Each structure stands twice: as C-alpha cells, then as structure tokens.
Structure 1
Amino acid sequence: MSELARALLAPRRIALIGASADPTRLTARAQLYLRKHGFTGDILPVHPRETEVLGLRAYPSVAEIPGPVDLAYILLNTQHVEGVVDAVAAKGIPAACVLADGFAEAGPEGAALQARLLATARTAGLRILGPNSMGIVNLNARIACSVNAALEAESLPAGRLALVSQSGSMMGALMSRGAARGIGFSHLIGTGNEADLTAGEVAGLLVDDPDVDAILLFLEAIRAPEHYAELARRAHAAGKPVIAYKLGRSPYGAELATSHTGALAGSDAAAEAFFRAHGIARVTTLEALLELPPLLIGRKPLTRAHRAVGVMTTTGGGGAMAVDCLGVAGIEARAPDATAHAALEAAGFHPHGRLLDVTLAGTKPDRVAAALGALQQATDTDLVLSVIGSSAQFRPQDSVAGILRAREAGGGTPIAAFLVPQADASLRLLAEAGIPAFRTPESAADCIRAWCDWRTPRATPPAPAIAHALPARPDEADARRLFAALGLDSPFAVLAAPEDDPGGIAFPVALKILSPDLAHKTELGGVRLAIPDAATLRQEAAAMQTRVAAAAPGARLTGFLVQPMARGLGEAILGFRRDPEVGPVVLLGTGGVTAELFRDVTLRLAPVDEAEAMEMIGEVRGLQPLAGWRGLPRGDLAALARAVVAVSQLAARSDIAEAEINPLIIGPDGVTVADAWVVPVKEGS
C-alpha cells in the first residue's frame, strides 16, 4: 500500500481541525462517528481554546500534536482554511481533507483561494481531498471520518463495493439504499471540488485493496481523464469492474458551439465514448449503480454481445414489463433457440414466443431451476432473466431457491432476477448469494444494457504527427488544405475577387464565400450551387460579396471558394473535437444541413483504427442504405472508414479545438469533401 493510500484509506492517527465540543454541531460529527463505529486509532481534536473536546484531549494547533499524523480533516469555515493548510503542510502530514465549500465553485475569489491552497500543498508534498468533501469511510477498517448524517445509523453493513463520489450527499444516500437491501460497502469517499485528488486518482488507490471487488463512481464531471484511463486499465487487469453513474446527460451545454460537431458532440456523448473506450461500465439509473456489480464481478466483458436475453416469468404482466423495458434499452427478449427449445421440451415445458411463462406449470424450485437451466443452453443470448411475482414477497426462500439451484448447476450464461413486488427479504437473499437482482424493470434493462455494452479497455492506436501550418484565423480553404494533408484532398480553387478565373475547375461548380468568421454560410446567402459557366460565376460572386457584406458587416471576407459539383450516394458529417472533459473525440453521422436536426451520430475517443471506424459506420442509421440495403447501390464504406481514421488523427494536433467536414459525399468509389471548417485552440485555453 502506498503512503497516500495508507494515509487516506487506512489512517491510524487523525487530526480533526476545528472539531466542536458541542455534540449538536456539524463539526462534532466526525469525532462522534469515528468513536461510534469503532475506530481504534488516535483521534486528535484541534481547538484553539478548548483543552478537551468530547472527552478527548484537544490541541491548540496542529504543530503541538505530538508525533506523526496520517490524515487531517479540516472542519473550519472557508476563510480559516488557508492558514491551516500551511500548518498541516509544515507538520508533514501526507493527506488532508477539507470540508468547507466556497472555493472554485463560488466564483473568481474562491478559485483564487483554492489555487493558493493547492500551491502550498504541492510545495510541501501534501495531498488534498476536496474542498467540499464529506470525508472518508472505510467500513472494514471501522473508519468513519465523515460528517455525513447517514452515519447516525446504529450499524453499517460492511461489504466489498467501494464508492467514490463527487457528491458528498450521495455517499449517505447510496449507503442507506444499499443497507436496506443487504448491500454493504468497503469504502465511501467524497472528492468534492477535486482541487487536487480526483475521483479517478482516489479510485485508483482502491484497485489493489483485497477487500474491494468493484469500484463505483458517482460523477458530476470528468477531471484529469488520464487518471480514469489508468484506473480502468489497472482495474481490468485486476478483474475489478469499474461502474460509473454520471450526471449531465442533457444537451444544453453545446448551445454555443460554432460547428455542427461542437453542437452534436456534447459533453455527455463524449463521456459515453470515454467510458466505452476505457472499459468503464456506465449506468443511467441510480438503482443500477447498486444492482450491476453482481453481474460484472468475477466476469469479463463479452467478446461479442448478442444484445439478447432469455426471459422466464411467473407473472405475465411482470414479464411483459421486463420485455418492454429491455426493448426500449435496445435489448431483445429472444425466443429460445433450437438447443434451448429442446431442453425445455425435455423438461416438460412447451415454449412459444419471447417469454417463457411458467405460471401454469407451477413455481416449485425444481421446476424453476429446470426452466432456467434450459434457457441457459441458448447460444444466442447474453443472460437469463427470471421475473418473480408475488411469491418473492410472501415466500422469499421458495421464490429464490430455484434461481440458486440453477446457478449452482453452472450453466455458464449469467442468471439475474427481477422482483415485481416490493420484496426486501428476497432482494437480501439474492444479494447475499451474489445473484444480480433488480427492483424495477427500468433498472433491470439498464443493467443488462450496461452488461452488453461493457468492453475491454481498448489500446489507443498511434496518431502520427501532421506537419501542416494553420493560420490563426483559418477560413474554409485553410480547413481544406489541412484535410488534404490528412489524405482527404478534393479539388477546389480560391478566387480573391469576383472576376478571377477558377483555372481548371470543371463546370458546373459550387461557389462559397470565404471568411474565418462565418462557419455557417448558407443562411447568409454565401453559397450558390450548380453555376453553369464562367460568366454566371462572375455575376454570382459579385452579388454574393455585396449580399454577405450587408448581412454580416463585421465578418472579414477573404475571397471565394469554387469547387466542382459533386454527386454521391449519401452524405456524412465527419468531425473532430477536443472535448474539455475527456479530450479528443471523432464524430460520424448523417450529414448535410439537417445533421443537428436528426442527431444521428456516433462518437469515439480519437484516434481510432479502421476496425473501430467501421464499427462507427454500422452505428449510424442514415448510412445503412450505403451497405446495399434492399439492393440499393453500395457506397465506398471502406473509403469512409479511412476518412474517419484520418480525421481522428487530428488528436496529435494540440492546436485544433474543432474540425469538420459536412457534408462528406460518399460515392461508389471514394469520398469527396464538400464543405470544411476548422477552429483553432484559443490562446490561453
């Protein structure tokens, strides 16, 4: 165990700076909870006026505590924290947790204060948890160094799930929800503002802990994505799943983006790509954060997910609910294949349709076990789901006995259960047996979808350097030259004035205004298509210059771009973005002016290889006709995949914030750049 892990997760001497002698105050809770839940180490209250705090000797300052200290929990108000951090650093304490808020989340002054704290800590080698941290709970070691009111509970079930949460209140919420179902935690750690230690880095400390089987993350943002990547890689090697619940799934954060890619590749889409790439299972319901671990612990990601399950039910309505929610989540409740069908017939069941309803056949454990065992023999499903009706509430032992027997028989395919009534006793029995059990059909579908989506962390392909100079304020011609350097070269000419000759560009042509300030030109009258000859081109260019100058008087106009009219079988949007949370991503979707309207897109972390690019193509519905759907002409999807790879290699360019081709025209033999845009990274960002 590293020094940081020992100080943070298993401290033996804890200084409580600002501990209150009044047991009713928030700042007294840490001391009360440490004693209440059995901490056997040294609790060292620090108070400038009291010589004793809640029965323990108090020290007037950190410096006067005799001997070394592992962890300091700073319980003071915001304005007093800075000076105490100096004292903690001077004492040589390796880790400190800061409870107070009012730092970076409170505006410029708070951000400046937080920066000063961090500078002091880094100089001294002190690591900071918080500010705005609810503290650290290690239930197996009986350490409850937190002010979270959930610790008022008389007993806290220890377990093998570790939670790292950016929200302090969610520590208690999840602990209480778990306790109600017999699910215990090994650790609960609140990271707050993450001025220093991030959730990813803290979670990384838990990977080597023998008391941890899975790591749960409650996230509001992804800070320092490299910490999560390292966490996920090490956790996968250790056989410990990482499961994330992340807020921020609404699209509003993309409203100010200048490109279509910026609007489409919102923070949540980028986060989804990030979790997928690193093998972090993501859930979208809070229940699933507690319910998914038993499905993943002890298993590896599916090599090839069928995205299908076999469903056995003792209640028709409950089974139908499960099938419906699974379908919404993109998971098929599949009828038994020939092997499973034969096994069911041999066991005396007569299946028909997607749902094996055994209500009339009785729900005795041996019958349930036989049905589940037969469904496990299917070769085209990822899981067998048992839907249990009223017996789960009134006969818990009997209702789960068949599931336990089927699991013990070792059929291979995982078995899980959805309990239709409120059946706490059955949930507890299944939790104790390590069988995934779901309280709602929505969380069942969420967990099964996450199980099918769960991947092995991918190896990042190389991104070769791209030696191409880019002006500080590029226009479309500059963007096209950048894409040409990537191998995506389509013919065009630049006219400085309306009367200039486009050279060897063949008519008919498209004409566009050039400006570094105009990402979207169509609505300003800055695009004309199918111009038949040179005379018409000169007339249209002159009229366009006047029109756009009037519509956008503040825009700098740099000329005109002329390109041959191109026809193809389909259009795609292909974009790159340096996401502020997760870093470079590449986007592919249905292209054209309706790209943002239909939002038919998929994302990956950049760069990608051709196999991953082909996987992306398969996920965009609007591109499926190009695969020859129902006899339609085939587009050159291999060329499209190479284009995706090429654009994703912009990840090697730290000076590019966004870049986009929209549309990229897909023909039967190759692709054509029809419109391009690039946004450099602003200085200082």
Structure 2
Amino acid sequence: MNALHDALFEPRRIALIGASADPTRLTARAQLYLRKHGFEGEIYPVHPRESQVLGERAYPTVTDIPGPVDFAYILLNTPHVEGVVNAIAAKGIPAACVLADGFAEAGPEGAALQARLLATARAANLRLLGPNSMGLINLNARIACSVNAALEAPSLHAGRLALVSQSGSMMGAIMSRGAPRGIGFSHIIGTGNEADLTAGEVAGLLVDDPNVDAILLFLEAIRAPEHYADLARRAHAAGKPVIAYKLGRSPYGAELATSHTGALAGSDAAAEAFFRAHGIARVTTLEGLLELPALLAGRKPMARAHRAVGVTTTTGGGGAMAVDCLGVLGIEARAPDPAAAALLDAAGIQHHGRLLDLTLAGAKPDRVAAAIGALQAAEDTDLVLSVIGSSAQFKPQDAVAGILRARDAGGAKPSAAFLVPQADASLALLAAEGIAAFRTPEGAADCIRAWCDWTAPRPESTAPAIAHDLPARPDEADARRLFAALGLASPFAVLAGPQDAAVTPYPVALKILSPDLAHKTEVGGVKLGIANAERLKQEAAAMHYCVARMAPEARLTGFLVQPMVKGLGEAILGFRRDPEVGPVVLLGTGGVTAELHRDVTLRLAPVDLAEAEAMIAEVKGLKPLAGWRGLPRGDLVALAQAVVAVSRLAARADIAEAEINPLIIGAEGTGVTVADAWVVRAAD
C-alpha cells in the first residue's frame, strides 16, 4: 500500500465541494450515499451560503475546513472547477476527483482548461481523478463517494473483484448486473477523462490490496500504456488476473469513445496486440467481464493451449448451442481421448462424438462428477464445460452438486458451467463456490476463448538503434535505403528524368518518385515489365505527364527502376506508431487487395524471431507457403527475419509509419524482395 492508495480508497476525512442541501439534486448524492452505506469518517460539505448541509456542518471554502483533508470531491460546474483546484492544491490535499464534464472532450477550449488543471495539480503534488468522473467506491471499507444512481440500492454486495471504468455510468451498470448472481466488488472507480490518473495507474494501486483477487477494466481508450504494462507485470506476479472490455472494435465505437473522453483512438487490432503482449485477458461481451474472473482467479496462463474443450450436457439443444458458439471462435468441442474414454468406460458412461450427453443416463451428482473427472483427464483439451438444462432453474442444489463434487476431487484442469435456462439461484451458488458459470452460450464461448488466449506478459524488449539519416519528406527511394539499413536491401536505381535510362538488366518496373504519393498505381505512377531502354524512356515521359495531370499538388522527385521479380507469394509488412499503444508491427497478405481482405496480424514492436514465426502462422494467406498440400515452400525463415528487422523501427521515434507492400517471398532459401516501400516521418 502507499499514500495515494490510502487517500483514494481509504480516506477518513472527505471534503464535498459544491455539496447541495437539496437531497433531490445530483450534487447531494455523494454525501447521502456515504452515510447511507456506512461511512463513519468525517464529511466536510463546502457551500458558500449554508452553515449546514444535510445534517453536517458546512464550510464556505475548502480553506476554512479545520485540519487536514484526505480526499476532495469537486461537485461544481465546469467554470468553477479551476479556482477550486487551486484552493485544494494550496491546502495540501493529496487527491481529488472532478465530476464536471466539458474538458478535453469538449474541444480546444476544454482541452486547454484541462491542461491548466493538470499543471496546477502537478505543481502541488495533487493527484486528480477525472474530470468527468463519477467518483469511487470501496465496498469493504464502506466508502461510497460517488453520484452513481446505482447506490440507491438498499445495500451493496462486497466481493473481491475490483472494477476500474472510464465510463461513469457503467460503474453502476456492471455492479447491478453482478448483484443477482452473487458477484460482488471490492472497489469500483470511474476515471473519466484521465487528465492525470489513468485507469492503468489506478488499477495498479489495487494489485497489492489483500481484498482484491482480480482487476476488471472497462475501457474506451488506452492512455499512458506504460501504466498498463506495469499493472499487468505486477498483477501476474501476484497471481491476480487483469481482464479488459474495450470499446472501439468498430469504427463507430472508436468514434464515440474518442468524442466521449477526448482521447486519441488507435486501431482495435493494435489494442488486441497490446493486451496479448501484456497478459491482459480481453473479453468482447459484457457478460464475459463478470464471468471470466472465476475462471482465471487463482490460475496462471496455460503454457500451450489446445484450443479445445470437453463438453458434458443434460440438454442436447443447449449442448449444441455451446459447441456452435465455441466453434465460431475457433475453439473445438473435442471427443474424449483414450485417457478420458477409459475412465468413462470404467464408470459405465456411454460416449460418442463431441458431446457427452448425460440426459438419458440420469444426471445424478455422482455420475456428473465422474463424467467431468474423466474429461478432465483428457490430454488434448483446456477445460471441461458442463451444460445444464431445466434442473438449473428448478433444482439448483441438485443441478450444481455434481460440478462441486468434481471440483472437490481435484481435477487437473478447470471446469465451468453454462446454464441454459434463466437460473439465478444456480448462478449464485456457483459464484459462491468460485466456479465459472455462464448465462449465455455466447458468453461461455467468449470466456473460454479468452482463457485459451490468455498468456503471461512477455518480457520487456528493446530494439537496437538504427543509425540512418532520413530526409524530412522521404520518397520511396529513401524508404528503400532505410529498409536496406535494416538488412532488407533489394536492387533499384533512381532516374532524375525520362532521358536517364541506362539501367540493366531488363525487364524492369518503373515507378514515379514522390513523397506525396503513397499509392502510385492510382495516379498512373507504376508500369511493369518494361523490356528495354527505349521503351523505358517512353514510359517515363508518359508517366510524368499522367501523374502531373492527375496529382498536380504532388512534388515529383524522379523515377525509380527495379528488376522484375517473381515469387511464390506476397506479404504486406508494416510498422506504425499507434496513438494508443505505441509501436506495432503488422504482417498480412500483400498486394493491392491487402486493405480489402484485412488478413493481417499485429504485435507490439519490437518482436523476436519466435514471435515473428507465430505471426506468420496466423496469416491465412501465407499458409500455402508452408508447403500446404504439397505446394512449393516459400522462404518463411527470411520472412520471419524481415518481420524482426522492420519491428526494430520501434527504436526510431522520428518514424510514424513504414510499409513494404508487397514484400515478394521467394522459394525456400532464396529470400524476400522489397517490391514497394513507404515511410512517414513523425510530426515534430
């Protein structure tokens, strides 16, 4: 624990600045909820005209409060916040929260105001939560310093899950969804715009809290990725999973997340790569955010996932739904292997196919336990899923008894349950026992996929520096020289004009050179298969005329000529400095349709050779080059080395993005060839 943890999560003296004496107003809620839910510390309402607010002595300004204050919640409208932050800083309060919106998300003026708040806070060593924050709740310490209407509930169910949410409204929504199922929280914090404290830093304060078993994140954007990296490493070492639900998987969701918080959104693929690299389990369903913790808590990621499960069921239709949803996410429901089959035979349980159907055999607890135990002995699966029918609704104790017996027998791998009917009592029983239970087949599949994808944080890596000068506005020739410095040299020549055509050997490809044209084909800037010097002069003259007419604003710097090369396949290999997570490397199927098919995979840069090989295996369009169905093998070793090389651009802060498309992959042992290259310098 540290002083900031105590100021945020265990304050004993709280100032409510702008607290209302009218109990019907939003700004009265924090005071009402603190007392309603058992806060026994001091509350100091600050009101310029009232001597008492809701039965507590009030003070005209924060300066008038006698003695130290641990935490301040600013409930005033936006125009009044800046002056109060100055007063809080002067009083030496260590932490404060700002409820008001109208800051970075509201445009340049709001962003400037937010920047001034932050500057004042940093000068005084004051830490800020928000703006646009609904406050924080510590249920075990009975501190409900929030205006979230979910606190109207007569009582709050304390638990061992901590939730850090960038959305204030989702604080109460997630808490309310967990309550009927017996899922409780230790802490719930809204971080809002994160002018200062980010969700990653706040969550990091909870890693060492003995009341926390798992940390949940509801994210709209990733700010200060280094905070999440530190959180994930420490949480993994402490055996506490970190689970994220992040918006922005669609361009529309990304747009809304950006406008809501004033954050600069990156790509969702980059966010996915970020979570994977740092061992943060990602769910894509809201149900999964509540259901996955029971599956991961107390466990470490698997060394190698089979991406397969064993499934028992007491309802054929329900079992089929689960198998189908799992299959959509690439998880196979697998028939019992010889080890599991032998145990099933010994128990007299018939088995065939992907589903172990116990319906007609009678789903008695001992038989269910025996079936689960047998499937847990399988050597080619990662989990056992029990699908339960109507008994979960009408006979909850009987429905879960077999699962509990199997758990008590100490199976080698985790088991979980999907309850087909609406069965809150059974869900609550399983939650109380720490067994993962799913309300929908989609949620079950999402969580099991997350379990299979979950990895330990990868070791921190750095890329060696690349000493190579790059002009302020590079064209393709400059990009090629940069890639050559990385070890990816391919032959080319630069022509100053159409008359300069003394190159060999032919045939060649001719391209216009310009720092302003990333897609030269679209403006007539590429010609392939030129057979001789005379033809090259003609094509260069025609190309210059065509490009100048179609892209009159582009600065033309000459021509690039390169030998025609054929290979077994094409890849797109790129580097980008993502605005959320930082440097990433991308690999996918290449050519002019690369953006259309989106058959790509990403990693945080830099990567090592093993990670590069894993990326190659994930790209569907590159699988034929591995000798699929007797096809010739491509030089995937050279491709992996190229991925590693390009990922080293992470060491160059002056490069925003770079791309080779296509990178031509030759036959095994013949290497790769840069067919087209592009680089963009970072803005100063």
TM beyond 0.5: yes
Is this contact kept in 1: 2:213–2:297, CA < 8 A? yes
The 3-state SS of whatever aligns with 2:299 is coil
Which consecutive unaligned segments of at least 5 residues does structure 1 have? Answer: 256-264
The Cα shift of 1:267 comes to 1.0
Letter matched to residue 613 of structure 2: M
Determine the structure 1 residue equivalent to 2:228: 228
The 3-state SS of whatever aligns with 2:205 is helix
Letter matched to residue 556 of structure 1: R
Structure 1 residues 294 and 254: CA distance shift in structure 2, 3 A = closer
Determine the structure 1 residue equivalent to 2:133: 133
Letter matched to residue 326 of structure 2: L
Identity over aligned residues, as a percent? 84
**Counterpart Cα distance in 2 of 1:527 and 1:200:** 47
Matches within 5 A, 1:145-544: 145-251=145-251, 267-503=267-503, 505-544=504-543
**Counterpart Cα distance in 1 of 2:56 and 2:350:** 71
Determine the structure 2 residue equivalent to 1:638: 637
The 3-state SS of whatever aligns with 2:646 is helix
The Cα shift of 1:525 comes to 1.0
> Which deviations, in whole Å up to 9, do the C-alpha atoms of 1:597-627 show, x marking residues without a partner?
1110000000000000000000000000000
Matches within 5 A, 1:652-671: 652-668=651-667, 669-671=670-672
Tell me how many residue pairs correspond in the alignment.
673
Letter matched to residue 453 of structure 1: D
**Counterpart Cα distance in 1 of 2:240 and 2:48:** 45
> Which deviations, in whole Å up to 9, do the C-alpha atoms of 1:207-243 show, x marking residues without a partner?
0100000000000000000000000011001110000
The 3-state SS of whatever aligns with 2:559 is strand
The Cα shift of 1:502 comes to 4.0
Is this contact kept in 2: 1:246–1:284, CA < 8 A? yes
Determine the structure 2 residue equivalent to 1:258: none
> Which deviations, in whole Å up to 9, do the C-alpha atoms of 1:274-327 show, x marking residues without a partner?
000000000000000000001000000010000000000000000000000000
**Counterpart Cα distance in 2 of 1:521 and 1:101:** 45
Letter matched to residue 650 of structure 1: L
> Which deviations, in whole Å up to 9, do the C-alpha atoms of 1:624-680 show, x marking residues without a partner?
000011111111101000000000000000011110000000001100000000011
Is this contact kept in 2: 1:494–1:502, CA < 8 A? no
Determine the structure 2 residue equivalent to 1:261: none
**Counterpart Cα distance in 2 of 1:368 and 1:253:** 43
The Cα shift of 1:254 comes to 9.8
**Counterpart Cα distance in 2 of 1:312 and 1:136:** 42
The 3-state SS of whatever aligns with 2:421 is coil
Letter matched to residue 561 of structure 2: V
Q: Which moved more, 1:667-676 or 1:460-469?
A: 460-469
The Cα shift of 1:524 comes to 1.1
Determine the structure 1 residue equivalent to 2:611: 612
Structure 1 residues 254 and 425: CA distance shift in structure 2, 3 A = closer
Letter matched to residue 528 of structure 2: L
**Counterpart Cα distance in 2 of 1:182 and 1:433:** 10
RMSD: 1.1
Which consecutive unaligned segments of at least 5 residues does structure 2 have? Answer: 256-264
**Counterpart Cα distance in 1 of 2:280 and 2:585:** 19
Is this contact kept in 2: 1:460–1:608, CA < 8 A? no
TM-score normalised by length of structure 1: 0.97
Letter matched to residue 312 of structure 2: M
Is this contact kept in 1: 2:247–2:253, CA < 8 A? no
> Which deviations, in whole Å up to 9, do the C-alpha atoms of 1:525-558 show, x marking residues without a partner?
1111111111111111111111111111111111
Moved over 3 A (4+): 251-255
**Counterpart Cα distance in 2 of 1:364 and 1:92:** 64
Is this contact kept in 2: 1:386–1:415, CA < 8 A? yes
The Cα shift of 1:506 comes to 1.2
> Which deviations, in whole Å up to 9, do the C-alpha atoms of 1:486-528 show, x marking residues without a partner?
000000000001111344x311100001011110011211111
Is this contact kept in 1: 2:160–2:185, CA < 8 A? yes
**Counterpart Cα distance in 1 of 2:253 and 2:331:** 29
> Which deviations, in whole Å up to 9, do the C-alpha atoms of 1:25-80 show, x marking residues without a partner?
10000000000000011111111110101111111111111111000000011111
**Counterpart Cα distance in 2 of 1:64 and 1:541:** 79
**Counterpart Cα distance in 2 of 1:640 and 1:314:** 49
The Cα shift of 1:201 comes to 0.3
The 3-state SS of whatever aligns with 2:310 is strand
The 3-state SS of whatever aligns with 1:292 is helix
Letter matched to residue 409 of structure 1: A
**Counterpart Cα distance in 2 of 1:336 and 1:189:** 44
Is this contact kept in 2: 1:241–1:296, CA < 8 A? yes
Determine the structure 1 residue equivalent to 2:258: none
**Counterpart Cα distance in 2 of 1:164 and 1:682:** 33
**Counterpart Cα distance in 2 of 1:462 and 1:518:** 32
Structure 1 residues 666 and 500: CA distance shift in structure 2, 3 A = same
The Cα shift of 1:461 comes to 2.7
Determine the structure 2 residue equivalent to 1:678: 679
Letter matched to residue 574 of structure 2: G
